[in-house]
Amino acid sequence: MKNLVVTEEIWKEGKMYTAYCPELDVVSCGTDIEEARSNLLEVIEIQLEESARLGTLKAFLEDAGYDLNTPQSTLQLDKQVIAFNQRTIPLGVF
């Protein structure tokens, strides 16, 4: 069995928390951070299970950029999150 490394982005929108996995392009939400994380994991698991059931898991993961031919037990993209920042950019047109 192989493991899959994904990124988990979480942000607050109003009273809800949104959790996003950019590698698989899936999103979920919750009323707190832990619920958002738990819901995201559930969505990822459902996506992987359904893709496997439909026979499209290999294509889905390859489209996401994963190398399924690696002998390593952990699949991860050749990227590393360095930072997330908020920036203010002036809108001179308004």
Confidence at residue 47, expressed as pLDDT on a 0 to 100 scale: 96
pLDDT confidence bin for 53, thresholds 50/70/90 = very high
What band does 14 get if pLDDT is binned at 50, 70 and 90?
A: very high
Share the mean pLDDT of the chain: 93
Quick one: pLDDT at residue 78? 85
Please state, in angstroms and rounded to a whole number, the distance separating the CA atoms of residues 17 and 35. Answer: 8
CA distance 25 to 7: 10
pTM for the predicted model, two decimal places: 0.84
Query: How do the domains of the chain map onto residue ranges?
Result: 3-75
